[in-house]
Amino acid sequence: MTDIPRRTAVRTAKLARLPLGVAGRTAAGWGRRLVGGDGDEISAQLMQKSAEELFAVLGELKGGAMKFGQALSVFEAAVPEEFAEPFRESLVKLQSAAPPMRFSEVSRMLAEQFGRGWAARFTAFDETPAAAASIGQVHRAVWKGRGGAPDRDVAVKVQYPGADEALRSDLRQLSRMSRLLQPLAPGLEIKPLIAELRERMEEELDYRDEAANQRAFAAAYDGDEHVRVPKVVASAPKAMVTEWVTGRKLSDVIANGTQAERDAAGERLAEFHYSAPSRVHLLHADPHPGNFQILDDGRLMVVDFGAVARLPDGLPRPLADMTKLALEDRADDLIALMRREGFVLPQTPLTGAEALTYLAPFTEPLRTDTFRFNRRWLQGQAERIGDLRSPEFRTGRELNLPPQYLLVHRVTMGTLGVLCQLDADVALRGIVAKWQPWMFDD
């Protein structure tokens, strides 16, 4: 077992191994090609080694480094297919597994959070963690009932000592190295992702905020036939106790599920994402597969509410109105709305027709009763927007995403990325129409 490395210099040196390792292996690969080595085989070996190092370094460091890896895992479906397999395997590992801290550290943290007699609150406590992730790990325990209440199985989430320092340090260093790190995730934009992670990192460090978010979701979805959110039992700044609920990991459904299982999981995930703004006025902002499980009764179980988008008025109306206008091919009205809301800057000569063309793939899943989300579709969109020679790339450079919509956009795109990993048929139009009916009004 390992503890989280705290010294900035140590963490920076380990992070630097990633781009330096890629550069070194690439140079060695060129040399092997020059002496007649098989190009495809050499490329595959280089990508495999890079992926293995990615998991080893980010998992060991935990903190912001692992949070960055988890965020990448949402978008692995957009990685070009020739690079996808080794990264897919390594990024999935980062969703719910990391080297755990020693139990002596767990005990010390719980004593700080709940007092020296913390163990008396439990009738049993498993010292081996059930999961170890970016800033904390989870233990299974039995919470002692009081006042005649029965004992109950619980999950105890404990933050790593020094996780706050590590998170801030890592994201600063990753931001500085974003250009060097780009080869680790071909087809993805690294710098904006790190910037957004830095924006919301502080809210994840106080588990009392997470507990408040989870209580709100648990109350809103209590008794729901499609979604289950475990209830909070107790919370402190760096420790939290919730109901123990477990099912089949979504990553296993992605890898091994039947088409029917993947379709059902996709429907549940889409329903949760599009219903939350109306039902809770919050949006779960960390939609990587490690935060979802499928229960025996078919419901989607959701965990980790450290990061949320706060939407007091539900889904921002301008986003829904833009979608509606794009679906109706109303180019002039669309560009006028985008200019009013700051999506197009005043001096930018973008036309309505160009905006419609750029947004067309994003509205495509809403034009039919059922849409098949898959990696090929998402890779096509990433290539179309990321190709420097394409008109869509130039359009994208002329668009502006106002800060108040940034998190909602990223979470929606992340959710669509997970649906593509599922390779699921989803009746998305009906789900969106249920929660934002004005989007489809005549």
Look up tokens 């085989």; give the residue. 41
Q: What is the mean pLDDT of residues 78-93?
A: 55
Binned at pLDDT 50, 70 and 90, residue 362 comes out as confident
pLDDT in tens, 287-338: 888 899 999 999 999 999 988 999 999 999 999 999 999 999 999 999 999 9
Calpha distance 92→72 (Å, rounded)? 10
Q: What is the mean pLDDT of residues 129-156?
A: 90
When the pLDDT of each residue in the chain is averaged and rounded to a whole number, the result is 79
176-200 burial, b for 16+ CB within 10 Å, e for fewer? ebbebbbbbbbbbebeebbebbbeb
Binned at pLDDT 50, 70 and 90, residue 428 comes out as very high
Cβ atoms of 213 and 219 closer than 8 Å: no
Full 3-state SS string of 15-51: HHHHHHHHHHHHHHHHHHHHCCCCHHHHHHHHHHHHH
Binned at pLDDT 50, 70 and 90, residue 374 comes out as very high
The predicted pLDDT at position 24 comes to: 37
pTM of the model: 0.76
pLDDT in tens, 16-64: 555 444 433 333 333 333 334 433 443 444 444 544 555 455 545 454 4
pLDDT of 373 above 80 = yes
The predicted pLDDT at position 140 comes to: 97
Which of 190-199, 221-230, 425-434 is predicted with the least confidence, judged by mean pLDDT? Answer: 190-199
Calpha distance 5→66 (Å, rounded)? 13
Instruction: Kindly list the structural domains of the chain, giving each domain's residue range(s) and its CATH number in brackets, ordered by start.
Output: 8-97+175-200 (no CATH), 103-163+203-243 (3.30.200.20), 317-440 (no CATH)
Cβ atoms of 440 and 397 closer than 8 Å: no
Q: What is the mean pLDDT of residues 2-13?
A: 50
Which of 25-29, 200-204, 217-221, 237-241 is predicted with the least confidence, judged by mean pLDDT? Answer: 25-29
pLDDT of 84 above 70 = no
Calpha distance 423→309 (Å, rounded)? 26
Count Cβ atoms within 10 A of the Cβ of residue 44 and give its class: 0-12 exposed, 13-18 middle, 19 or more buried: middle
Q: What is the mean pLDDT of residues 417-427?
A: 95
Calpha distance 314→375 (Å, rounded)? 30
pLDDT of 216 above 70 = yes
Work out whether the CA dihedral 407, 408, 409, 413 comes out positive or negative: positive
The predicted pLDDT at position 12 comes to: 53
Distance set, CA 214 to CA 238, 351, 365 (Å) = 15, 43, 30
